Structure 1
Amino acid sequence: MKPQLPLADRFTGLGYRCMGYKPTPIDYGVYEMLRQRFFSSPRGRAARFAGGVVGRLAKLDLASLDLNHDVFTTGIRLWDGQSAAAYWADALTDQEIDLICGVYEVATGANDDDPQTTKVSWWPKPHVFLHSGMNTGWWSPDCERWYQKRLTAIKAGTAALHTQTEWKGVIRFFQKSRQVAVANESLAAQFLNSIL
């Protein structure tokens, strides 16, 4: 059984909002404060090494890169199953990712008296970024331009929150760069295999 984090250390996104919720720059400021608090905690280190949008957000706020001793309860163990040594890497929980990406649960109505909700966020979650055209293996100048444009719209109060499905469409326009990165990786692997 996986050990549970103490209740005080759990982060569950930004909470529930009523139907028709429209965020404001003040809401974003509250989100930034909560995100910064997380990044200042011992668990914040894991975000810096996550890459993508999560890593970029962590770059803004991360105070410490010191070793996190929670790695043995919340991290990923890398072990070949045979040797005596195993390696551990920090990994973020789903709740931590929800907080970092600014996820809200918003009411969408009710079906047969059963409330329905959807999750929307300020930023795309890692699985969406990973499979998008923006993911070229590094935080490129195009990624930074997109990030700065999005941040400007958020601060101006003109940015909308998106579901993860919507985020796929929002960052799809980088698909050509993703195809180039995949082709580059394949060619590099072929070259390395030919000389080894």
Structure 2
Amino acid sequence: MEGIRFHTVQRLDSLVPADPELPASVDTPMIYGDYAFTYDDYTQYREHCREILASLRGRAALMRGGFVRRVALGFVKIDEVLRGPWVIHGRSDHTFIAKDNWGVEYVDDELSNEEFDTLSGLYHKFLGHKREVVSVCWFPLGHIFDKSGANIVRWSDHLEALWNKRCDSISADQSVPNTFRNPLGVMEWRNKLRGSADARRAYTRLEKWSLDVWQQHLVY
């Protein structure tokens, strides 16, 4: 409920293989630099989110934290995190895997990097100059948010306010100019999520300490 990133693991040998899934639409759209976005583009993005989050693995977005989790809350009930894992997926990037000191594997549902990017609304924008391509997205990509000063591990009131402002701007009157309505570039999102340098350093140290504990006591 606090938006903290986590997993719910289960022993691999206690699960059964999943039936093959129909592939979701995860091809990153390519647009030109002068492309004019409309609300129809946002609607199409939402449909792609709905397709991904309807899969057996969609619950993984709720456990990812950050803006991906906030997107998922519009499609998936929060108690879906308690529903699994209960199958083994055919692709390695669809499964989170951990081992204990005895080599026993524990797994959880996972989404691929491409699926997480789609949930953020990623586009590749072709600028036409020396084949220069930049990335823009409706919401910040996971790795951008993770390394930002706005990431304080849990979802905060400040982030909820930013989310509401973003959604209100996208759905506002299309006849009124508003650059915040369009997908933003990576640097634009970094600036909006910059936060404090102390918060970024604290998060980096926390990640290192957590990994050290995991490797020393739990990981094979």
TM-score w.r.t. length of structure 1: 0.77
Residue 162 of structure 2 is matched in structure 1 by 146
Residue 55 of structure 1 is matched in structure 2 by 69
Q: Which residue, out of 32, 52, 56, partners 1:38? A: 52
Which amino acid is the alignment partner of residue 118 of structure 1? V
Task: Give the structure with the higher percent helix.
Answer: 1
Contiguous gaps of at least 5 residues in structure 2: 1-19, 211-220
* Structure 2 Cα separation of the partners of residues 12 and 118 of structure 1: 18
RMSD of aligned C-alpha atoms? 2.9
Report if aligned partners of 2:124, 2:134 keep a CA contact under 8 Å in 1.
yes
* Structure 1 Cα separation of the partners of residues 170 and 199 of structure 2: 26
Closer, same or farther in 2 for the Cα pair 1:148/1:177, shift >3 Å? Answer: farther
What is the 5 A alignment of 1:119-134?
119-134=135-150
Closer, same or farther in 2 for the Cα pair 1:132/1:105, shift >3 Å? Answer: same
Residue 16 of structure 2 is matched in structure 1 by none
Which amino acid is the alignment partner of residue 165 of structure 1? M
* Structure 2 Cα separation of the partners of residues 102 and 162 of structure 1: 10
Closer, same or farther in 2 for the Cα pair 1:170/1:143, shift >3 Å? Answer: same
**Offset of residue 83 of structure 1:** 0.7
Residue 116 of structure 1 is matched in structure 2 by 132
Which amino acid is the alignment partner of residue 109 of structure 1? G
User: Match of 2:149, SS?
Assistant: coil
Runs of at least 4 residues off by over 4 Å: 179-182
* Structure 1 Cα separation of the partners of residues 90 and 109 of structure 2: 8
Report the count of equivalent residues. 177
**Offset of residue 90 of structure 1:** 2.8
Which amino acid is the alignment partner of residue 84 of structure 2? L
Q: Identity rate of aligned residues, in percent?
A: 26
